[in-house]
Amino acid sequence: MQALQTLLVVDDDLDIRDALQDAFELEGYAVLLAADGLEALAQLRQQDTPPHLILLDLMMPRMDGFAFREALRHDTALADIPVVVASADLHLESAARELDVARCMRKPLDLHELLSTVKRLSQGD
């Protein structure tokens, strides 16, 4: 039996985290959750194998998505994990270019588009 692909959802909104966890688990993914960048880094460093993809909000307390992405890029064990930014930031495209992410999506998220993006990116396409 094939192991489940793991996703890490990093968002300070509990309702969004819960909804995404439900949607991804229904699609057959294992889901890790973090409320901010610090919590996400701690989880990543505790995992034996990194997640297949990170879904990242930009605006969060303690450590925002920009600082988290910068920390990821400087950690060789984590730098190659695809990151999808999901944000309501009006300057999302320029932010995504600056962060060098696989994809950026504007909130509110289109669930069908999100699931197809995650499926494509988590399989390494």
pLDDT tens string 48-102: 899 999 999 998 899 999 999 999 999 999 999 999 998 887 776 777 778 889 9
pLDDT reported for residue 24: 96
Angle between helical axes of 37-46 and 65-73 (0-180°, round to 10): 30
Q: What pLDDT, on the 0 to 100 scale, is given for residue 3?
A: 61
Domain boundaries, the chain: 6-122
- Residue 4's pLDDT is 80
> What share of the chain has pLDDT > 70, as a percent?
95
Q: Domain 6-122 belongs to what architecture?
A: 3-Layer(aba) Sandwich (3.40)
Name which of 57, 106, 59, 60 is nearest 83 in CA terms.
57
Per-residue confidence at 1, pLDDT binned at 50, 70, 90? very low
Q: What angle do CA 38, 119, 14 make, to 5 degrees?
A: 35
pTM: 0.91
What 3-state class would DSSP assign to 62? coil
Q: What mean pLDDT do residues 8-15 have?
A: 96
Contact 69, 78 (CB under 8 A): no
105, β-bridge pairs: 86
Grouping H, G, I as helix, E, B as strand and the rest as coil, residue 36 is coil
Burial 110-121 (b: 16+ CB within 10 A, else e): eeeebbebbeeb
Q: What is the pLDDT of residue 95?
A: 72
Which among 3, 85, 13, 78 has a CA at the least distance from the CA of 43? 78
- Identify the pLDDT of residue 124: 64
